[in-house]
Structure 1
């Protein structure tokens, strides 16, 4: 193929199948889902298999027939009862299977655990305390009936409850249905016997900050037998189940046995870094059981995460089947005689040393030691190839590569700055995961091309080969250096460098033939100067070099970029008004985009400065068009909604009623919406007031510490003009001190805070004190500080308490004293009225001012925004007590 005989158009046309085909093929396989099983038995073999139809029927009953299952609600208790009966049915199925196959080693045990406890829960750099009363779990253990089998078990976990504003079809009713179907399939499989036990934990309080998993890990009789954990979650409703956390080589190897692997070391390291501000029950199993394991979740279309739209109708066909097939394969392997379960008794390794990745449904894994050998060897081989190929001007090549990277990142962030601060259109890309690519890719390409201008010009030699070689040396060095630092994600750079290495090896081997062809009088392949460019023998690369070098970046890079945007686009759009969402997304697109099209600078120099300028102007025009397109975009619609938080608070101390409104994004329109809301529902002539969000804003403590992301307003509400009908006195939400004593000599006070909360759930108390000891944590901070304690109780449980020893009188600076009282302990308390959550309690509205307002407000928001807002409407009761 005489590449230099071809102009830019013909070259791009020839490369188009790779440029377009590789990414499209990668994306097709990356998000490919299995065909759902409708029936619970294979129509050909009659053997049992997981049925997506059955799984979704469970999810639908839990999320729609029962409904919102927030811990403490009647629906939560109803779900607990119904699911306990479903698990008992599986236990009966087990008994019948044993009767059908006499001598089969199979035993099923079911528990309904109920208990109370407390634990420290640090999140978002915040010290937080959790306590729970009478919460429950449902546990099923399948073993071969022997003590040996029961002594080493694998735990598989999902949670039955849903969070405050969501029916939770995917999160996490889908996963509990998967677990029950896997249990049924195993039991009904003729002859199947587990060498090691499987414990199915259907925990009942994950959304209240992992109380159910803590209860199991610290109090259940089977917990000490757990050697590994598999956690099933959902933060979306589409796409394959992502393995995003793996904590041992043995469990990663176990995952390699699943039929449709989907996970990489990149996701593992991103999640482990804490940047996502997210957590799962997996934390409790690590912390309290010291076990290794796998954490997996559905993450596509996370616009529905913790929203009203988390319904079965929005779960993509094949999602449940993918999770079920992979989970079943894992459980078969981990319960078999080949399982690594006994070897995992030593506990949890916080720093696994295994590189793993899935690509095009292939799964690769190797140790960090192997990675270091491979990556360092490639770097050394690359240096040798540079010497053999005798590529000149390598320093300029490195300059061009570094300039391209810097130019891409800078240009994308400049566009982010313009969109946010100049055009006043932040989050214009929010409503589609691929939209940031449309906006920031032209910016990144423009930046790369602008950065190449100093290296191109009339009379200057071609930089194509020096840049190609510099890319190889740069990526291979970063891969080796990163892996020496135990950064497993260096695998991407290694793979990219490997493609360039193979391409340059082949091109170098062909170079003598090119020169010989030229001496024999043929038209030379590598010495055909372009207009405005000096011809330099041996500098142009064979077109095959591009084909080979493109394949890996366009597959691995696009795979990483797509997976990252699927997670980060919806998430960063809800990071808070002051979060640098635009710049985070711009940087992700530019950095991963540069890797995906790393060959661009070399190709830009292939046809001389005139072509470089043409490509630059084309990219700038494209950028202008896409910026104009996103300028007129509304970032929200019915399927990609703005999340609005609304609290109707009855202050028990003052009798006042206020509406508190907040959002967690910086998109335009919120201020206008709040003012319209105040005009429609607030006191006439009184505008809404901006409120400072800090640790002492008790109005939002029910969402603490996520409340730090919120931008709140406060609206005064008119008193309900309806006549007050006398009703029998009801128990009140109270906070009092019992067992109270003061030691004047020691300067301490010992007391028990007793909280009575009839009909109130999701309780939070907050106070300022120097706590010396308490029943929550044996290591309270040794300083005067603000403390938040969150509580969750089972439906009907209405009392709890915490005992403590504090310094007394209250010490502190004048600023701290402003929020405290030397005469006692000032306690802010708030909770949600169990009957006043909309739309969770829509069907049983009690006629209270809060529910009447919510009904009107919800309809008003639907009409005004066209369904582009999802409001969490919570009727709260609170106040302040001096104890």
Structure 2
């Protein structure tokens, strides 16, 4: 009967936790907010109207497109409505609003896991708003609030990051509105509406590295992001104790230092503008994001109808409270905020979506020492009082059992994952709901915990085994204290979980021994070995873990389950989720460790067999192939690059998946696509993804996580093929004064010199890209110097990727390089008839290598070799893969954005129109990114 009250309490507390976690504030209408004169009110309706205008009115705001610029122009007009001085005559000073548009060029290095990409950006833009009381004192110190206007491929970006933009516009309205509780702006607010985050954070880099008048005043940043469309926004990065204190003022806190620790590991394969502000500005801050239902993150369904009501209200009210504290409160230390070292960060976590606990670093370290001291006292007391039960040995074995149970849980769940992926071939079987992994991987975790405890019990004499029920409390407390102390020494904030565990075990021990059982009877040794632990103690053991564990389960599963749909084929998704579920099971159910020792061997065996049976049943149920892994609201992401190869004249369809689902799903989709769109005498090829695969270079380095398939497409009839080629080929490439548009999509080397003595080549690689956005160069070379702000990579001859983004209408970019000539190039140069010494200037040169695909012996390398050996070439020529997106022909945005019949009736758009119709009708579980890519191989 003891199981009933434990289960009842756990059910009540976990249900309450889940309910409060997902409960969002009621959205406030624009009218109600405007009529409020006592206290400023944040209006979700107003913020959502901005989101809707951006995502529906302008749609896909990809950097380099006209929609991108149009959205910025519209927002600039909206912001200028607030420009000027707002006078209130309430004794709290005026409010001055200043508005700027910043446009500039720049370059930076972007690291993504083990890959490095070099970025150049041209005419990147920001809209900047400063809100102050008009005095120099107010303007001297600012908090920066940041969001981004642009959206990503292929998403209209209502939440990401229309929500952030809408919240900031509403914040601007609130700060310029009269109210009875208005306070003077002791410090200013700088709103940064950056217009280039999805292109690897170019616009935020531009701002924080510029000499804009507001930059020196920036003391802290609050970054607003979204990787989901529902639930509470999460604080997943905090940079200082003062900023954590500022977050504690939020009415609906949801954050934990555990999220901070996890995000630092880069396991989430995600990044935000926050990186640029910290790296280049040295500022501290808060990084906050909507994270619920991230199945729709970076998909077509990131639209207002899919954004949960109350999400923006929740996010917005928190932001308003944080900014209000930093800019108006006398307690604010904004002018002196600096980045806090990881080991000095306070411990913080939220509970029930209402309470925020913050413990400074020094007192928290003291907690570890206190727990250690109590642990030593407890060992002595237990050994003295329960020595006749072999208490010392039982406690030592219980400490071992703590570790063994955790490892057993993780191991058993991973064995289940191995069966699901390798035997049943049903990886991601749980993907369609965040909580579905629990029935699959929770029961085997319980089996692992119980088996570990049964093994521990075999180390004791039969007569003393019941004492393990009480000894387990001591063992678990001692292990919690030990782990807290060790992790504290390394400055790992997530150690607070062991602190909470230790407090739970200590409370259970004290209540059990002093209130429920009675210390006098214990010392007199009047308590039987099987009565040493009162049943009421289990309610204490259940209380805090039910709250913290359930909140952790909700948060982790909401974040990680959808994430596995975009971590790549090689990611061990089932094992990751199995490890998370087993760890959460151990965290939520510490009650299992002592409870199993309360019963005899028969009950213990039946309990293990019961959960083993559930585990096997779950395998059978989850292996049912009639159950879809993906569906319309939990889609499979499909990257589709229709590549027009200028070198061969061929058209290729490249399909890529980013998930580790059973191979048959993606390969079957590729086969279907080939049957509908491919040439009949060709087949689908599974190709290797590496830095030498140029098919997805536009997405590099994210492309390294894509599983690629490709097949040939029919070549258009001669007249149409010529029309398609003429769009990209140079009209007059020989004229050095020709405009970038007349040069077509091409590359060339200018200001080219060879230093035969030093063995180097210096030149400017210039890329003309009319109608092309997000162009990328990939080549092999040993770069000694270049005009990027970061030194070129060391390590000699290697593969390089240089990417570009430009504002709409910017058609040319360049990079200056000094290359070391390789030994074979120097030898060939020495053997050439016209060899020279010293520095020799070379004429501008750039040539598209064109091959005959019907001739097997005619390929890029043979043409390149022939060119170097010819009079028009030279041994030092560089082979470059270059590609980019046809910005006007991205699908489906082209249908909304373009009225140009030449674009709408082009080969690529017509084919995508047909393909999109097929996918929507027959494969609605697929969310496709349909991009027309133009590529070629050039020599410079």
TM bin (shorter chain): over 0.9
The answer (yes or no) to whether the contact 2:269–2:567 under 8 Å persists in 1 is: no
Map of 2:147 onto structure 1: 158
The answer (yes or no) to whether the contact 2:643–2:653 under 8 Å persists in 1 is: yes
The answer (yes or no) to whether the contact 1:683–1:716 under 8 Å persists in 2 is: yes
Match status 1:878 vs 2:935: yes
| 1:216-257: CA deviation from partner (whole Å, max 9, x where unpaired) | 111222111101011000000011111100011111111111
Seen in structure 2, the aligned counterparts of structure 1 residues 269 and 346 have a Cα distance that, compared at 3 Å, is closer
Report matched runs for 1:586-625 at 5 Å.
586-625=578-617
Map of 2:803 onto structure 1: 790
What TM-score, normalized by structure 2, do the two folds share?
A: 0.87
Distance of 2:880 and 2:697 partners within structure 1? 12
Report matched runs for 1:406-805 at 5 Å.
406-456=407-457, 461-462=465-466, 463-510=468-515, 513=518, 527=528, 536=529, 538-539=531-532, 541-632=533-624, 633-668=627-662, 669-721=665-717, 724=720, 731=742, 732-782=744-794, 783-805=796-818
Seen in structure 2, the aligned counterparts of structure 1 residues 683 and 100 have a Cα distance that, compared at 3 Å, is farther
The answer (yes or no) to whether the contact 2:284–2:337 under 8 Å persists in 1 is: no
* SS of residue matched to 1:639: coil
The answer (yes or no) to whether the contact 1:228–1:341 under 8 Å persists in 2 is: no
| 1:693-751: CA deviation from partner (whole Å, max 9, x where unpaired) | 11111111011011111110111001224853868967310111111111111111111
Map of 1:531 onto structure 2: none
* SS of residue matched to 1:838: coil
Distance of 1:499 and 1:364 partners within structure 2? 17
Instruction: State the 1:395 CA deviation.
Output: 2.5
Map of 2:914 onto structure 1: 856
Map of 1:833 onto structure 2: 886
* SS of residue matched to 2:349: strand
Instruction: State the 1:157 CA deviation.
Output: 0.2
Seen in structure 2, the aligned counterparts of structure 1 residues 161 and 752 have a Cα distance that, compared at 3 Å, is same
| 1:246-294: CA deviation from partner (whole Å, max 9, x where unpaired) | 0111111111111111111100111112221211001111111111011
The answer (yes or no) to whether the contact 1:679–1:685 under 8 Å persists in 2 is: no
Instruction: State the 1:103 CA deviation.
Output: 8.5
The answer (yes or no) to whether the contact 1:835–1:846 under 8 Å persists in 2 is: no
Distance of 1:454 and 1:282 partners within structure 2? 49
Moved more, 170-179 or 147-156: 147-156
The answer (yes or no) to whether the contact 1:456–1:608 under 8 Å persists in 2 is: no
Seen in structure 2, the aligned counterparts of structure 1 residues 359 and 99 have a Cα distance that, compared at 3 Å, is closer
* SS of residue matched to 1:432: coil
Distance of 1:317 and 1:85 partners within structure 2? 27
Moved more, 206-215 or 441-450: 441-450
Distance of 1:553 and 1:518 partners within structure 2? 30
Seen in structure 2, the aligned counterparts of structure 1 residues 101 and 450 have a Cα distance that, compared at 3 Å, is closer
Match status 1:28 vs 2:29: no
Map of 2:396 onto structure 1: 395
Distance of 2:421 and 2:36 partners within structure 1? 58
Match status 1:248 vs 2:240: yes
The answer (yes or no) to whether the contact 1:511–1:538 under 8 Å persists in 2 is: no
Match status 1:362 vs 2:375: no
Seen in structure 2, the aligned counterparts of structure 1 residues 826 and 627 have a Cα distance that, compared at 3 Å, is same
Distance of 2:337 and 2:257 partners within structure 1? 24
* SS of residue matched to 1:496: helix
Distance of 2:479 and 2:90 partners within structure 1? 63
* SS of residue matched to 1:158: strand
| 1:118-163: CA deviation from partner (whole Å, max 9, x where unpaired) | 1111112222111111111101100111112111111000000000
Distance of 1:673 and 1:562 partners within structure 2? 33
* SS of residue matched to 1:635: coil
Stretches of structure 2 that go unaligned for 5 or more consecutive residues are 732-740, 828-860, 869-874
Instruction: State the 1:408 CA deviation.
Output: 0.9
The answer (yes or no) to whether the contact 1:241–1:323 under 8 Å persists in 2 is: yes
* SS of residue matched to 1:206: coil
Distance of 1:790 and 1:623 partners within structure 2? 49
Seen in structure 2, the aligned counterparts of structure 1 residues 351 and 696 have a Cα distance that, compared at 3 Å, is farther
Instruction: State the 1:680 CA deviation.
Output: 1.6
Distance of 1:596 and 1:39 partners within structure 2? 42
Distance of 1:573 and 1:254 partners within structure 2? 34
Instruction: State the 1:105 CA deviation.
Output: 2.5
Give the counterpart of 1:193 among 184, 199, 202.
184
Moved more, 382-391 or 172-181: 382-391
| 1:562-614: CA deviation from partner (whole Å, max 9, x where unpaired) | 21111111112321111111111111111122121122021111122122122
Instruction: State the 1:387 CA deviation.
Output: 2.3
Instruction: State the 1:376 CA deviation.
Output: 2.0
* SS of residue matched to 1:199: strand
Give the counterpart of 1:208 among 199, 202, 210.
199
Seen in structure 2, the aligned counterparts of structure 1 residues 182 and 351 have a Cα distance that, compared at 3 Å, is farther
Report matched runs for 1:243-322 at 5 Å.
243-322=235-314
Instruction: State the 1:405 CA deviation.
Output: 1.6
Report matched runs for 1:107-186 at 5 Å.
107-186=96-175
The answer (yes or no) to whether the contact 1:67–1:75 under 8 Å persists in 2 is: yes
Distance of 1:578 and 1:52 partners within structure 2? 41
The answer (yes or no) to whether the contact 2:222–2:286 under 8 Å persists in 1 is: yes
Instruction: State the 1:117 CA deviation.
Output: 0.8
The answer (yes or no) to whether the contact 1:40–1:54 under 8 Å persists in 2 is: no
Seen in structure 2, the aligned counterparts of structure 1 residues 150 and 798 have a Cα distance that, compared at 3 Å, is same
Match status 1:375 vs 2:368: yes
Instruction: State the 1:27 CA deviation.
Output: 1.7
Q: How many residues align?
A: 855
Moved more, 310-319 or 474-483: 474-483
Give the counterpart of 1:227 among 219, 235, 244.
219
| 1:26-64: CA deviation from partner (whole Å, max 9, x where unpaired) | 222222211111135445656541110111111011001
Instruction: State the 1:509 CA deviation.
Output: 1.3
Distance of 2:339 and 2:550 partners within structure 1? 36
What TM-score, normalized by structure 1, do the two folds share?
A: 0.93
Map of 1:3 onto structure 2: none
| 1:776-835: CA deviation from partner (whole Å, max 9, x where unpaired) | 134112322211111111111111111111112477999xx9999843111111100012
Distance of 1:604 and 1:634 partners within structure 2? 38
* SS of residue matched to 1:201: strand
Map of 1:869 onto structure 2: 926
Moved more, 654-663 or 443-452: 443-452
Seen in structure 2, the aligned counterparts of structure 1 residues 834 and 490 have a Cα distance that, compared at 3 Å, is same
* SS of residue matched to 1:128: strand
Moved more, 459-468 or 225-234: 459-468
Instruction: State the 1:201 CA deviation.
Output: 0.3
Instruction: State the 1:104 CA deviation.
Output: 3.3
The answer (yes or no) to whether the contact 1:468–1:599 under 8 Å persists in 2 is: no
Aligned-residue CA RMSD (Å) = 2.4
Instruction: State the 1:11 CA deviation.
Output: 1.0
Stretches of structure 1 that go unaligned for 5 or more consecutive residues are 1-9, 528-535
